[in-house]
């Protein structure tokens, strides 16, 4: 049935037909996610809600913004993307997140938490200015609800004098269980008999913001969802509404229902076997260090397990803080704790660190406080696409004074850098990819601002690389060149900031090649170009050019976007000849 369906046809279906449609959607999501990877349990929880939305509302004239986008698969299946659904998250395929470029049914791209209410308000305000008439819906989970952006958007609802529907899809989990007072408050509302909370005067903060509050309903009961959405659609003509539903994460698939955190996102192993993830090293090493150093505190924003810190959190609960999806707050907490002689480690994905940019400048670095940023998923992170690549971090961190930036070449070096960090009394960022595959034979102790020679031969060219994948590419390139009789030296630039100026000043080679998995603009290579500006060197930078990097496998994307050992070797061959 799903195969031939369009959003418009759903409106003509009977409840039994819709119920069986839900079942079909659910099976399709499960089988596809187990093939392609992706967000499973969050999507399973939102099937009935989405089918009901398509039954009641008129897409694409009406607009829906999915917060983060972890709940949009059913919407995709019901809106022209059944045929391409098997390509989801694959290179060249459809995205795992809402994408305007893909379909008129996707009105706003999301990926980072908390943006949906702001976006819905902007679309609704534009509708009013344009004298148009359609409905705007934001679908947001309780995890995103912690983010300050949601509060900023709520705060301006009356001010904007417009109307939206917010569907709060509450499943008690973001990726990990949701934390914080707002979530406890949602539980209070959920626990109320016969939606009593709603009736108590002043009982509901959402009404303060100008919403009519309606809840809590079973989000997995299709008939209830259709009934409520129909009523809400009518009410929406005169007022903004918040519809609070409770849905079961992983609904309809018992393994997911029982393991919602583990099945939030499913990863598919690439053909290369992964020896270990950097996050594991973070967890093990930081736990060991914290046994000896009582100043060490670990802070996360809702990603404790993925960052490898579950063990640390269990062992040192009093020195572990997960604030939920509140990256800015987490950053300031670290700075403030550092003023009181603690040693805070803020672990975060590269892409989400973008939210803390101002706080890294003002709170951490302008105060020169010894906070360590542990930046995971740096470089190309893969199948999540444009919104999740960790390719900007070196560019936005490099210009910040007082910040030291370290990039390990392998898991062992990462461990050594963590050891180094405990004695380092200033702001420090360590950025690393998700997976590590090799431990290099060469290693030398970490010395502040000093690089490591990976090969000692001096020839006509020197390759300077930072990070495991770039150093690996540089070494392969050097080996390829060696087989053709060209000697190229390889240097591991452990510190992107400060540069090892002594080593740089002693470079005899005429040709310098930089390799990094970051944007060219503002990245490591740019620092090298700055250093050698006006000096007589021929420099070539291997880094990502000025475009957004879509979804795909890490290795294939690195190659597509110019980072391959062959490209490096070819450049040097041609340049030297």
Name residues contacting its own copies, limited to 348-377 (CB under 8 A): 354-355, 357-359, 361-363, 365-367
Provide the minimum distance between the beta carbon of 185 and its own copies in the complex, in angstroms, as a whole number.
5
What is the pattern of x (binds its own copies, CB under 8 A) and - over residues 177-206?
A: --xxxx-xx--------------xxxx-x-
Taking the least distance from each CB to its own copies, the nearer of 472 and 541 is: 541
Applying CB under 8 A, the span of 5-13, 38-46, 152-160, 250-258 interacting with its own copies comes to 152-160
Site for its own copies contains 460 (CB under 8 A):
no
Taking the least distance from each CB to its own copies, the nearer of 32 and 541 is: 541
Residues numbered 74-103 forming contacts with its own copies, rule: CB under 8 A: 100
Nearest to 519 by CA among 402, 279, 350: 350
- Pairwise CA distance, residues 431 & 438, whole Å: 17
Which of residues 8, 11, 158, 315 is near its own copies by CB under 8 A? 158
- Pairwise CA distance, residues 402 & 498, whole Å: 10
Residues numbered 318-347 forming contacts with its own copies, rule: CB under 8 A: 318-319, 321-324, 326, 328-329, 332-337, 339-342
Query: 3-state SS string over 324-350?
Result: CCCHHHHHHHHHHHHHCCCEEEEEEEH
Which of residues 27, 196, 538, 566 is near its own copies by CB under 8 A? 538
Residues numbered 99-128 forming contacts with its own copies, rule: CB under 8 A: 100, 107-109, 111-112, 115, 118-123, 125-127
- Pairwise CA distance, residues 255 & 118, whole Å: 35
Residues numbered 216-245 forming contacts with its own copies, rule: CB under 8 A: none
Per the annotation, the verdict on 355 as an active-site residue is yes
DSSP 164: -
Provide the minimum distance between the beta carbon of 162 and its own copies in the complex, in angstroms, as a whole number.
10
User: Positive or negative CA dihedral for 329, 157, 206, 143?
Assistant: negative
Taking the least distance from each CB to its own copies, the nearer of 392 and 414 is: 392
Which of residues 283, 390, 467, 523 is near its own copies by CB under 8 A? 523
Taking the least distance from each CB to its own copies, the nearer of 248 and 329 is: 329
Q: Which of 81, 251, 319, 355 is catalytic?
A: 355
> What are the beta bridge partners of residue 491?
453, 464
Nearest to 211 by CA among 281, 156, 252: 156
Q: Which of 26, 89, 99, 249 is catalytic?
A: 249
Per the annotation, the verdict on 318 as an active-site residue is no
Residues numbered 542-571 forming contacts with its own copies, rule: CB under 8 A: 546-548
Task: Give buried/exposed letters for 19-30 (b at 16+ CB in 10 A, else e).
Answer: eebbebbbebbb
Contact (CB, 8 A) for 319 and 340: no
Nearest to 371 by CA among 342, 408, 391, 413: 342
Site for its own copies contains 153 (CB under 8 A):
yes
Site for its own copies contains 3 (CB under 8 A):
no
Contact (CB, 8 A) for 497 and 405: yes
Q: What is the DSSP string of 243-275?
A: EEEE--TTTT-HHHHH-TTTTSEE----SSPP-
**Phi and psi dihedrals of 322, rounded to 5?**
-115, 115
Provide the minimum distance between the beta carbon of 416 and its own copies in the complex, in angstroms, as a whole number.
26
Taking the least distance from each CB to its own copies, the nearer of 115 and 135 is: 115
Residues numbered 290-309 forming contacts with its own copies, rule: CB under 8 A: 297
Contact (CB, 8 A) for 350 and 390: yes
Provide the minimum distance between the beta carbon of 334 and its own copies in the complex, in angstroms, as a whole number.
7
Residues numbered 28-47 forming contacts with its own copies, rule: CB under 8 A: none
Residues numbered 396-455 forming contacts with its own copies, rule: CB under 8 A: 396, 398-402
Taking the least distance from each CB to its own copies, the nearer of 186 and 225 is: 186
Q: Which of 327, 359, 468, 516 is catalytic?
A: 327
Applying CB under 8 A, the span of 30-38, 52-60, 388-396, 472-480 interacting with its own copies comes to 388-396
Which of residues 387, 404, 421, 422 is near its own copies by CB under 8 A? 387
Determine which helix (DSSP H) or strand (DSSP E) holds 3, and give its type and residue range: none
DSSP 365: I
Taking the least distance from each CB to its own copies, the nearer of 82 and 357 is: 357
- Cα–Cα distances in angstroms (integers) from residue 543 to residues 377, 499, 512, 561, 570, in the given order: 17, 17, 14, 8, 16
Per the annotation, the verdict on 327 as an active-site residue is yes
Q: With contacts defined by CB under 8 A, how many residues of the chain interact with its own copies?
A: 110
Q: In what order do the strands lie in the sheet with 461-465?
A: 452-453, 488-492, 461-465, 511-519, 538-544
What lies within 8 Å, CB to CB, of 312 at 6+ separation is: 283, 286, 287, 290, 298, 320
Give the active site residues: 249, 327, 355
């Amino acid at each position: 049935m799903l195969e031939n369906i369009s959003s418009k046809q759903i409106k003509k279906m009977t409840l039994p037909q819709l119920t069986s449609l839900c079942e079909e959607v659910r099976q399709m999501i499960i089988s596809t996610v187990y093939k392609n990877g992706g967000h499973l349990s969050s999507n399973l929880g939102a099937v009935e809600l989405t089918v009901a939305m398509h039954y009641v509302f008129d897409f694409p004239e009406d607009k829906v913004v999915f917060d983060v986008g972890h709940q949009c698969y059913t919407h995709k299946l019901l809106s022209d993307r059944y045929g391409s659904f098997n390509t989801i998250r694959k290179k060249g395929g459809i995205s795992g997140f809402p994408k305007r470029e893909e379909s008129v049914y996707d009105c706003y791209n999301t990926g980072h938490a908390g943006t949906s209410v702001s976006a819905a308000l902007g679309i609704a305000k534009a509708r009013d200015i344009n004298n148009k008439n359609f409905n705007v819906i934001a679908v947001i989970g309780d995890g995103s609800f912690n983010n300050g952006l949601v509060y900023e958007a709520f705060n301006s609802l009356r001010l904007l004098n417009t109307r939206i529907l917010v569907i709060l899809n509450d499943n008690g989990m973001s990726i990990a269980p949701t934390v914080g007072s707002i979530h406890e408050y949602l539980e209070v509302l959920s626990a109320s008999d016969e939606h009593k909370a709603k009736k108590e005067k002043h009982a509901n903060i959402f009404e303060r913001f100008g919403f009519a509050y309606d809840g809590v309903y079973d989000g997995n009961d299709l008939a209830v969802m259709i009934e409520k959405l129909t009523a809400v659609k009518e009410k929406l003509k005169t007022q903004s509404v918040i519809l609070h539903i409770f849905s079961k994460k992983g609904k309809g698939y018992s393994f997911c229902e029982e393991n919602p955190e583990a099945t939030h996102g499913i990863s598919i192993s690439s053909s290369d076997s992964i020896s270990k993830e950097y996050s594991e090293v973070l967890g093990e090493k930081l736990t060991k260090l914290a046994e000896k150093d009582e100043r060490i505190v670990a802070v996360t924003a809702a990603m404790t397990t993925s960052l490898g810190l579950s063990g640390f959190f269990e062992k040192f609960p009093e020195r572990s803080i997960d604030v939920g999806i509140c990256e800015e707050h987490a950053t300031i907490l670290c700075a403030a704790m550092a003023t009181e002689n603690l040693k805070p480690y803020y672990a975060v994905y590269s892409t989400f660190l973008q939210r803390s940019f101002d706080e890294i400048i003002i709170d951490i670095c302008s105060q020169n406080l010894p906070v360590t940023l542990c930046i995971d998923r740096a470089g190309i992170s893969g199948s999540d696409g444009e919104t999740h690549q960790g390719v900007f971090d070196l560019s936005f961190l490099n210009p910040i004074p007082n910040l030291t930036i370290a990039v390990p070449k392998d898991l062992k070096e990462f461990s050594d850098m963590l050891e180094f960090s405990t004695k380092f009394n200033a702001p420090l960022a360590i950025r690393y990819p998700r997976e590590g595959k090799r431990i290099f034979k060469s290693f030398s102790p970490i010395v502040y601002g000093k690089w490591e020679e990976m090969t000692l031969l001096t020839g006509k060219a020197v390759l300077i690389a930072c990070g495991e994948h770039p150093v690996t590419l540089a070494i392969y390139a050097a080996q390829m060149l060696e087989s053709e009789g060209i000697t190229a030296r390889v240097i591991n630039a452990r510190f992107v900031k400060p540069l090892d100026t002594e080593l740089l000043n002693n470079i005899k080679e005429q040709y310098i090649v930089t390799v990094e998995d970051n944007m060219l603009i503002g990245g490591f290579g740019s620092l090298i170009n700055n250093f050698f500006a006006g000096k007589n060197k021929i420099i070539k930078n291997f880094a990502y050019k000025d475009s957004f990097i879509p979804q795909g496998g890490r290795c294939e994307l690195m190659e597509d976007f110019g980072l391959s050992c062959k490209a490096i070797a070819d450049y040097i061959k041609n340049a030297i000849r």
